Amino acid sequence: MEDDKKTATLRHASVNNGAQTQGEIQLYFDECEKNGVTPDNFAVRCELSIEPEASTRTNIAVARNTATKIEAISIAGKHGYFDDLNVTFKQEHPWNELAQSETDVEDHYVDTRLLLQILWAMMPEELAPDHRRTIEARMRAYKNAAYCLQDYVEIHDSSGTNKEDAARYKYFTDMAGTAWTEYQRWKKLDKWNDKHLLERLRQAIRGEDGTIKEVSDGIVFPILSALSRFVKLKKGKWQLIYPKVFQDEDMLIAARRPLSQCSGRPMLMGRSGAACEALILLTEMAERYSEQYQA
What is the per-residue pLDDT across 166-214, written as a single tens digit (0 to 9) for each?
999 999 999 999 999 999 999 999 999 988 888 888 899 998 888 999 9
Instruction: Specify the higher pLDDT residue, 295 or 74.
Output: 74
How many Cβ atoms sit within 10 Å of the Cβ of residue 41? 5
Whether residue 23 is predicted with pLDDT greater than 70 in this model: the reply is: no
Closest CA to 247 of 259, 255, 258: 255
Closest CA to 159 of 170, 175, 149, 151: 170
Judge contact between 9 and 41, C-beta under 8 A: no
What type of residue sits at position 294?
Q
pLDDT at 12: 62
Whether residue 20 is predicted with pLDDT greater than 60 in this model: the reply is: no
Average pLDDT, the chain: 86
What type of residue sits at position 146?
A
pLDDT at 291: 79
Judge contact between 204 and 210, C-beta under 8 A: no
Dihedral angle, C-alpha 82, 187, 226, 238, nearest 10 °: -40
Whether residue 70 is predicted with pLDDT greater than 60 in this model: the reply is: no
Instruction: Specify the higher pLDDT residue, 16 or 77.
Output: 77
Closest CA to 84 of 112, 58, 109: 112
pLDDT at 155: 96
Task: Give the pTM.
Answer: 0.77
pLDDT at 66: 44
How far from chain centre, in Å, is Cα 88? 13
Instruction: Specify the higher pLDDT residue, 201 or 162.
Output: 162
Judge contact between 50 and 10, C-beta under 8 A: yes
Q: What Rg, from alpha-carbon coordinates, does the chain have? A: 23
pLDDT at 102: 84
What type of residue sits at position 275?
A
The sign of the CA dihedral 279, 280, 285, 288 is positive
Reported as a single tens digit per residue, the pLDDT across 239-251 is 999 998 999 999 9
Please list, residue by residue across 6-30, b when 16 or more beta carbons sit within 10 angstroms of its beta carbon and e when fewer do: eeeeeeeebebeebeeeeeeeeeee
Q: Are strands 204-206 and 212-215 parallel, antiparallel or unpaired?
A: antiparallel
pLDDT at 216: 95
Whether residue 131 is predicted with pLDDT greater than 60 in this model: the reply is: yes
Whether residue 57 is predicted with pLDDT greater than 50 in this model: the reply is: yes
pLDDT at 94: 96
Instruction: Specify the higher pLDDT residue, 241 or 49.
Output: 241
Whether residue 2 is predicted with pLDDT greater than 70 in this model: the reply is: no
DSSP calls for the chain:
-BTTTTB---SSEEETTHHHHHHHHHHHHHHHHHHT-PPPP------EEE-S-HHHHHHHHHHHTTTS---HHHHHHHTTTTHHHHHHHHHH-TT-EE--STT--STTEE-HHHHHHHHHHHS-TTTS-GGG-SHHHHHHHHH-HHHHHHHHHHHHHHTTT-HHHHHHHHHHHHHHHHHHHHHHHHHS-GGGGGS---TTTTSEEE-TTS-EEEE-HHHHHHHHHHHGGGEEEETTEEEE---TT--HHHHHHHHHHHHHHTTT-HHHHHT-HHHHHHHHHHHHHHHHHHHHHH-
